Amino acid sequence: MTTEVGQAVSANPLMERYSASDLRVFSSEEADRYLDGVIADPQRNASLAWELLYRLEPDLYERLVAAEHLHPGIIEWLPPHVPRIIEVGAGTGRLTLELVARGDQLTAVEPAAPLRDRLRLKLSALPSPSGGGQGGGHVQIISGFFDALPVPDQSAELVIACSALTPEPAHGGDRGLAEMERVCAAGGMVVIVWPDHSEWLASHGYRYLSFPGPMTMDFASPTEALQLATIFYPHAAAEIRARGARQVPYDLLGVNPPRDLAYKHIL
Mean pLDDT of 120-138: 73
**pTM of this prediction?**
0.92
**pLDDT recorded at residue 166:** 93
CA pair distance 51, 109, nearest whole angstrom: 16
The beta strand positions in 110-221, using DSSP E, are: 139-142, 156-162, 184-193, 207-210, 216-218
CA pair distance 240, 1, nearest whole angstrom: 19
- Determine how β-strand 103-109 pairs with β-strand 216-218: unpaired
Per residue in 250-261, pLDDT (tens digit) is 999 999 999 999
**pLDDT recorded at residue 196:** 86
Furthest CA-CA distance within the chain: 53
**pLDDT recorded at residue 133:** 47
Which residues are bridge partners to 145 per DSSP?
148
**Strands across the sheet containing 156-162:** 139-142, 103-109, 82-88, 156-162, 184-193, 260-265, 207-210
**pLDDT recorded at residue 6:** 34
**pLDDT recorded at residue 63:** 97
CA pair distance 216, 224, nearest whole angstrom: 14
DSSP string for 200-235? HHHHTT-EEEE--S--EEE-SSHHHHHHHHHHH-GG
Per residue in 60-108, pLDDT (tens digit) is 999 999 999 999 999 999 999 999 999 999 999 999 999 999 999 999 9
Per residue in 182-217, pLDDT (tens digit) is 999 999 999 999 998 999 999 999 999 999 999 999
Residue 227 contacts by C-beta under 8 Å, 6 or more apart in sequence? none
DSSP state of 145: B
The amino acid occupying position 63 is R
